Structure 1
């Protein structure tokens, strides 16, 4: 295998990556990169044969205002086992050093700029079309967020983006991907956790509480007990999606990674399972969940000023969060959930034993 040295690391050359692509079966980018043993960003940069790839500034404060001018686009955020795709406009952007966001009914995101490291302007020829996208990866070359153009996107703006956001190309030297943290508990602070949990007034205070008691989200769930959490069967997460669809009940679906969280607010109508994937295939929202990779599910209740906030949260076998579903807050903001959502959650099957 042909290698080159980048910094102190020996990495595959572009020609070696292209040879590995040619030798591999047809796979999606993420799976192909894993098969070759490189990051998705390295795979993208090495692409030839109908791909045109250019480096651009990935900083949200520069990229997202430029994307807003595109008009309708498709926002894609994913992790290993879940993909959220939303069509809309990137409006109401709020920048920040540690966190940025777009807040509108279609493209609702929370962005963490420190992980928006590598950006690409991508054009890909297919048999019947030219696919255009902007793709962002973290320091390890892992997916953070992608913007795909749609029929409603402004192509004149697209043509200018490459020049406006261009940065000098430099060899990719991805850092090691972080290992899964798993559940982190602290038996000595369980009573403090429970006491302070009961005093929460906003869901955003929860992670601060976890840091205070030296636990993480899953670790806290495993030791908190009733009335704060209820362990559910792994199948319960898919059951919830199907139940929400059947009942026409809206919800808030959070899917993310360490660099971006994407939120869908509204109903999930058309459910289309395919093999291990549980899919929501609505006109402007698609969700793709590897249902078989859900290993642990918790129903979680947190007190807020607007009343209890109920969520159902799915984790994989490594203890990594896959997705969260909350009750859809009423438009007046008076309560954090609806009775219809709680009714469905109450029917979900308990785990046979707590994790």
Structure 2
């Protein structure tokens, strides 16, 4: 950014803050028509220091920080998980973190801007993609190793300011319905691993939601949008361990375990547990589906919520790992929320 453009952005930002002081930085960026990373880089409402990548190098060092809070989000769901970054594998374009608390899948191809940020006294490390949209944020907590945090920032900090220029992300060509629904159904019924689902969508050049609509109600069944609240309420009442996936184009963040404290705040339905928070804007949910996939370990069912743009907002499974069958209580719960039987 040129100096004048920074000054202009700061002035516009300050006027917005004066008019609407309670807006969060993501909302302020939307109102101003700029990427969130542009506000961070310009120091609009925050103090920031650019960090030198690549993102993989930063990620490999996150394990030194001790316990932190990891946050990933999309437009309609925010996933917050407390814990430590353990078993970090971040060498190539795809990375993973496989700790018992922080569980991530990273797709580094689109990551571009990185900052150490202080906002209202709260410190974080923030990762943004080529669009300038937030991919992932790491927040310091009372349990974080302060010396390690400071050393991390010092190691990667730079005095330069890379201009934030929003670039669109490449998107694969996909249709809203398959050319051959019968062939898609046959392929689906032959799946042996849930991870093969993405390859199937690419092979048939169909969107995820288009595939759900095409394969039949025993494999993908639309349910009411109130189903997510019923599911979470039942899971909380029975201490049923679940998995909750929230993703954006650069990352998938996963919680595994029970949920307990459920709170409605306006359009947001929230899980507010000690180590896991989920904030879900249920007003943005346009369709909800129970999805049923065969694997070598038996059938695996999920509850998936979609927005008006056809993108997946949040996905829930029963707790499981490869080689481990689905929890019967989870299967029974989802089947009880369906009007039609699922394939078994």
The two structures have a TM-score, normalised by structure 2, of 0.91
Mapping for residues 98-137 of structure 1, pairs under 5 Å: 98-125=93-120, 130-137=121-128
Mapping for residues 208-219 of structure 1, pairs under 5 Å: 208-219=199-210
Closer, same or farther: CA 320–31 of 1 in aligned 2, 3 Å: same
Gaps of 5+ in 2: none
Report the equivalent of 1:36: 32
Q: Residue 182 of structure 1 contacts residue 320 of structure 1 at CA under 8 Å; is this kept in 2?
A: no
Closer, same or farther: CA 121–321 of 1 in aligned 2, 3 Å: same
**Shift in Å at residue 4 of structure 1?**
6.3
**Shift in Å at residue 16 of structure 1?**
3.4
Report the equivalent of 2:255: 264
Q: Residue 236 of structure 1 contacts residue 349 of structure 1 at CA under 8 Å; is this kept in 2?
A: no
Moved over 6 A (4+): 2-6, 177-183
Report the equivalent of 2:165: 173
Equivalent-residue separation in structure 1 for 2:191 and 2:338 (angstroms):
27
**Shift in Å at residue 115 of structure 1?**
2.0
Report the equivalent of 1:342: 331
Equivalent-residue separation in structure 2 for 1:280 and 1:264 (angstroms):
11
**Shift in Å at residue 181 of structure 1?**
8.8
Equivalent-residue separation in structure 2 for 1:52 and 1:97 (angstroms):
31
Asked whether 1:146 is paired with 2:137, we answer: yes
**Shift in Å at residue 66 of structure 1?**
1.9
| SS in structure 1 of the partner of residue 305 of structure 2 | strand
The two structures have a TM-score, normalised by structure 1, of 0.89
Closer, same or farther: CA 182–35 of 1 in aligned 2, 3 Å: farther
**Shift in Å at residue 328 of structure 1?**
0.9
Closer, same or farther: CA 176–212 of 1 in aligned 2, 3 Å: closer
Match for residue 46 of structure 1 among 42, 56, 61: 42
Q: Residue 231 of structure 1 contacts residue 350 of structure 1 at CA under 8 Å; is this kept in 2?
A: no
Mapping for residues 1-355 of structure 1, pairs under 5 Å: 13-48=9-44, 51-125=46-120, 130-167=121-158, 168-176=160-168, 184-186=176-178, 188-329=179-320, 333-335=323-325, 337-348=326-337, 350=339
Equivalent-residue separation in structure 1 for 2:157 and 2:78 (angstroms):
28
**Shift in Å at residue 163 of structure 1?**
2.2
CA RMSD of aligned residues (A): 2.5
Q: Residue 233 of structure 1 contacts residue 349 of structure 1 at CA under 8 Å; is this kept in 2?
A: no
Q: Residue 125 of structure 2 contacts residue 138 of structure 2 at CA under 8 Å; is this kept in 1?
A: yes
| SS in structure 2 of the partner of residue 303 of structure 1 | strand
Question: Alpha-carbon deviations, 1:15-65, whole Å to 9, x = none?
Answer: 43344433433211111111111111112222256x320111353321122
| SS in structure 2 of the partner of residue 175 of structure 1 | coil
Equivalent-residue separation in structure 1 for 2:3 and 2:289 (angstroms):
45
Closer, same or farther: CA 306–102 of 1 in aligned 2, 3 Å: same
Q: How many residues are matched?
A: 338
Q: Residue 183 of structure 1 contacts residue 218 of structure 1 at CA under 8 Å; is this kept in 2?
A: no
Q: Residue 280 of structure 1 contacts residue 286 of structure 1 at CA under 8 Å; is this kept in 2?
A: yes
Equivalent-residue separation in structure 1 for 2:119 and 2:197 (angstroms):
42
| SS in structure 1 of the partner of residue 298 of structure 2 | coil
Equivalent-residue separation in structure 2 for 1:74 and 1:265 (angstroms):
15
